[in-house]
Structure 1
Amino acid sequence: MSMGSGAALAQEEIIFGISASPGSLQEQTASEFARRANEKLGDKAVVKVFDSSQLGKDKDMLQKVKLGTMHLTLPSSTMPEIAPEYAIFDLPFLVKDRDHLARIDETLFKEVLVPAAEAQGYRPLAIWENGFRQITNNAKPITTPADLDGLKIRTPNSSWRVAMFSEYGANPTPMSFSEVFVALQTGVIDGQENPLTNIVGGKLNEVQKYLSMSGHVYSPAYPTVGIATFEKLDPEVQAVLAETAQEVAIWAREQGAAQDGTLLEELKAGGMEVNDTDRAAFVAASAPLYEKFASEVENGQAMIDQALSLADGS
């Protein structure tokens, strides 16, 4: 075999599976990551993105990156099941804005959250964006938690989100996102909560009248590898993937900020009535969730104090 024939070998494929659908910010970010990484990788390797849970649900894909049948995945609200510390992002009004998130990324994420996942065999390479969550419903504008009293509000299958909407006096109803449109259309539920990118993507304005800008939770998404599988890759490939994930985190926040305004206009044009909420009233009603995190998660109070101390750039 001549020395030159090595070039004919197939490129190593880096398989990146995500559950988000095409057009969502998560999918746009994964595609931008692949584009940038592939430019840098040249003929060393090629990143391929598989969206819409083609390779399994979030839990399945986390197993696969650990077992080595794929390389990267993008969990969001399933991360507290890997390491309870990730429930810090389920605390309402913890993240003030995207600049605050950038400071959490540089400190708490790298110092506490990454090691917590590594202890379970996973390594998140960055914090990407799912978005700030807002409330929609068909009964009335929601200004204070009291307005949610008795309303059936769909939440993701997250014990923390259920606890939050119970505290607010709603009747939280967990179900998968694919069932939400019909449940709203038929009146099985009164409302739901999601970032604007998902409200538009799911055409929920067709079956919801009121959009209340609560911004109660900022949902991150985490490009995550299984450590054992990742460390078998060429060190140069590892470096490109890690560095590009961090670069694209900044791109994702900029995209998220740019799209918020456009998406809001789109929903108004689609017939939704939009109102602001009484943030102080929601913050007051959220206190028990902070107590729950402080008592249930190791060093929980220290994590809360550190995250909140970063809100104003101190």
Structure 2
Amino acid sequence: MFLKNLLAAGAAAALLAGAPAWAETQLKLATDSGAKGSPSGDALDRWAALIEEGTGGEVQVDVFYQNELGSQAEVLDLLVAGDLDMMINWPITAYDNRLGVLFTPYMVRSWDEAFDAYKPGGWVNEILTGVFADLGLRFFGPWPEGFNGIASRDKYAMTPEEAADLKIRVPAMFPMAESVQALGYQTETIDWSEVFTAIQTGVVDGDGANIIYWDYEYFRDVLDYYNQTKMQFITGVMTMNEGSWAGLSEEHQAVVAEAANTVMEEAFAQAQERDQFYINKAKEAGMEYIEPTPEQIDEMARKVRAEVWPMMEERVGKEIMDLVRANAAKL
């Protein structure tokens, strides 16, 4: 508890530092995943610049990248508490089990289906708007990345029998572990900052649940294979603390929301191209990229849905899962 309080105090001090005396309003924007210069880091910078430009400098935005304010859970703590104003993040489900709908396995099967579901007015977007409102957060929309997979060292798996010999790192987000386990793998929940060392030292055999960008950019020296299992369509979320939102003038609210919409639309336009770019980069770096056939994906999807969706109904509720079943991709 002392360590957590110390970290929180340090984070709060960092947040207060550097605010220009002439700024009418100072906002704090962060991410839990992505250093400066990464795609998510660039998206933070873009959102901040659009806000400052749109308000004529009346609103200034301090940007904080991955690990600068603490762990994934600690930064979300700051956002919910109002000590941080805005985020592009991948929220853990500890605050509300319904956030697990973000990670429903085999909910969409193609980029077109994903865009239709997650964009403003889409059926997943509408679910998330309500869930985040209950947490005191305003949901602007998704920051899409792409379909995920299983990255591994030395060997890879195409069957549950092969997967049983591999222990895969998963993030602390329901139902990530459950989805990977349904494919036959052993799993270990490890914080993002410790993943490289865990793979390097053999604590785990690979990383699960990420798009190829993260495994190429951060772990390519210790990974040999990337199996595009397409369990989840991975997207960050663009949110703002409701108290921070209420503290803005209507004119500034409009600028912040429009800036978020611009960043989101740009991400939709760029995500598929960026994903393919990093697939190519991973291949060039010597990582073997495995793309299962549609029939193999169908087989995986049926198994994972049968095991994980009933668990999800217990966590996210029947109402949400009825919407998922009614709208999810057909097998």
Range of TM-score over shorter length? 0.7 to 0.9
Amino acid at match of 2:213: T
Corresponding residue for residue 83 of structure 1? 96
Match of 1:127, SS state, is: strand
Match of 2:148, SS state, is: strand
Is 1:201 aligned to residue 203 of structure 2? no
Select 1:162's aligned residue among 173, 177, 182.
177
Corresponding residue for residue 163 of structure 2? 148
Corresponding residue for residue 60 of structure 2? 46
Give the aligned length: 302
| TM-score w.r.t. length of structure 2 | 0.83
8 Å CA contact 2:147–2:228 kept in 1: the answer is: no
Corresponding residue for residue 62 of structure 1? 76
**CA deviation after TM superposition for structure 1 residue 231, in Å:** 0.5
Select 1:288's aligned residue among 307, 314, 317.
307
In structure 2, runs of 5+ residues without a counterpart are 1-20
Match of 1:206, SS state, is: coil
**CA deviation after TM superposition for structure 1 residue 62, in Å:** 3.2
Q: Percent identity?
A: 22
Relative to structure 1, is the Cα distance of residues 275 and 67 closer, same or farther in structure 2, using a 3 angstrom cutoff?
A: closer
In structure 1, runs of 5+ residues without a counterpart are 1-7
Separation of aligned partners in 2, 1:267 and 1:60: 31
Separation of aligned partners in 2, 1:279 and 1:288: 15
8 Å CA contact 1:19–1:53 kept in 2: the answer is: yes
| TM-score w.r.t. length of structure 1 | 0.87
**CA deviation after TM superposition for structure 1 residue 190, in Å:** 1.3
Separation of aligned partners in 1, 2:125 and 2:188: 34
Amino acid at match of 1:293: M
Farther-moved stretch of structure 1 (230-239 vs 19-28): 19-28
Separation of aligned partners in 2, 1:294 and 1:69: 33
| Aligned counterparts, 1:1-314, within 5 A | 9-20=22-33, 21-78=35-92, 80-105=93-118, 106-193=121-208, 194-202=210-218, 204-277=219-292, 278-286=296-304, 287-298=306-317, 299-308=319-328
Amino acid at match of 1:302: D
Match of 1:281, SS state, is: helix
The answer to which structure, 1 or 2, has the higher relative contact order (CA under 8 A, 6+ apart) is: 1
Runs of 4+ in 1 over 6 A off after TM superposition: none
Match of 2:47, SS state, is: helix
Relative to structure 1, is the Cα distance of residues 173 and 62 closer, same or farther in structure 2, using a 3 angstrom cutoff?
A: closer
